[in-house]
Amino acid sequence: ARPWWRAPRTWAVAAAAAGIALVLALPFGLPWLEPPAPRDLAAVEEVVLGRRLPLLRQLPVVERLELLENLELIAQLDTAVPGGAAGER
């Protein structure tokens, strides 16, 4: 007589039970396999904006500098020689 753990029927029943357990467990999710729940986005945004607060306070200055750069570029275009590098062929 064979021991009970060597009988083929025992392994078949054990495999079927494991398969059924897996099928039943998957729809409910396995907490150790799931990604962590997302944190409150408002709190994350507060931290990000808090780090950039000094830059946000200087935003009007930065906007004025950008306008000055654009004005300088336009002035350079006004004084460009007609038929410049593209026209010399």
Show pLDDT as tens, one digit a residue, over the chain (89 residues).
567 666 778 888 889 999 998 887 776 665 656 666 667 778 878 888 888 888 778 888 888 888 888 888 888 887 766 665 555 54
Structure letter (DSSP) for residue 4: G
Give the C-alpha separation, 25 to 33, whole Å. Answer: 12
Predicted TM-score (pTM) of the model is: 0.29
Strand spans (E) along the chain: none
Give the C-alpha separation, 65 to 41, whole Å. Answer: 33
Query: Do 65 and 58 touch, CB atoms closer than 8 A?
Result: no
pLDDT for the residue numbered 70: 84
